[in-house]
Amino acid sequence: MADLPILSVRNLTTSFLSGGVWKSVVRDVSFDVRPGETVAIVGESGSGKSVTSLSIMRLLAPGFSRIEGSILLNDRDLLALSEKEMRGVRGNEASMIFQEPMTSLNPIFTIGRQICEVLTRHKGMSRQEARAETIRLLEKVRIPNAGARFNDYPHQFSGGMRQRVMIAMALASRPRLLIADEPTTALDVTIQGQILDLIKVLQEEEDMSVLFITHDMGVVAEIADRTVVMYRGQQVEAGPTDEIFQRGQHPYTRALLAAVP
Ligand code: ADP
Ligand code: MG
């Protein structure tokens, strides 16, 4: 079948060491993301959405965290890979963007330099090739005057533009999967809509799958083919977005839906 999942998460359980005991904050989460699909994870603050996405990318501190279950990305179990292999995955197969782009952009380097570095390090490009590709990527995410902005620093961009820079950087690795953890939450409503539209367009142009994390059912309705609802670390519902909106069963899902204007 052509539609084998790109990402297949099974019984994901993540625990943190706290006061000498392991405490699980994500329990038994299972879902698939198929090619070209957008899957939303929705839930209130503290429900375990970020821990789920950080577990998939293996970005939690080892020693203080324990991830169980399986995370198959293109049929490879990420939990079985070495840290070095994981860096390859992050540079080539899966990218992540966050709510606050400043957490991933380095304030002391120009944005052009930071995107070029992804391209020279992971894509084997020369500096010249990387520069041209960086400008192409900045144009792709609709940054006005892309060429001139190459030498600007992160703080010289507005919040919305900075999120576009982050998206350009995420695209530099040509990922099959983009994980977006509340990328529009910190933005004004108008800018939020623009970024959502951009992600939708890019997803088609780049033939990516997207795992989109949000607390906002309005955003889910706008962007997701399928939806996973999380509540207190557990998955309480999963299915096509239409069905969740029409027939969501869990009381928490119903509460979320009741809050949609
Ligand atoms: P969400 O993204 O849905 O708002 P999180 O995934 O960030 O929620 O957090 C889920 C729970 O895990 C919260 O109770 C949070 O306090 C806890 N948590 C998150 N990160 C850590 C960590 N590094 N160590 C211990 N507990 C954590
Ligand atoms: Mg979060």
Count CA within 13 A, CB hemisphere, residue 249: 5
Is residue 27 within 6 Å of ligand 1 at its C-beta? no
User: Can you say how many angstroms the Cα of residue 255 is from the centroid of all Cα atoms in its chain?
Assistant: 25
Is residue 183 within 6 Å of ligand 1 at its C-beta? no
For 118-154, write each residue's pLDDT tens digit.
999 999 999 999 999 999 999 999 999 999 999 999 9
Instruction: List residues bridging with 211 in a β-sheet.
Output: 39, 179
93 CA → ligand 1 middle, Å? 25
Which ligand is nearest to the Cα of residue 46, counting in written order?
Answer: 1
Q: How confident is residue 104, by pLDDT bands cut at 50, 70 and 90?
A: confident
For 141-198, write each residue's pLDDT tens digit.
999 999 999 999 999 999 999 999 999 999 999 999 999 999 999 899 999 999 999 9
Is residue 48 within 6 Å of ligand 1 at its C-beta? yes
Q: Is the pLDDT of residue 99 over 90?
A: no
Q: Is the pLDDT of residue 1 over 50?
A: no
* Strand order across the beta sheet in which 65-73 lies: 76-77, 65-73, 7-18, 21-33, 234-240, 226-231, 38-42, 209-214, 177-181, 94-97
Q: Is the pLDDT of residue 55 over 50?
A: yes
The three-state (H, E, C) secondary structure of 187-214, written as one string: CCHHHHHHHHHHHHHHHHHHCCEEEEEE
Which ligand is nearest to the Cα of residue 230, counting in written order?
Answer: 1
Q: Residue 131 has which token pair? A: 């520069």
Predicted TM-score (pTM) of this structure: 0.95
Is residue 153 within 6 Å of ligand 1 at its C-beta? no
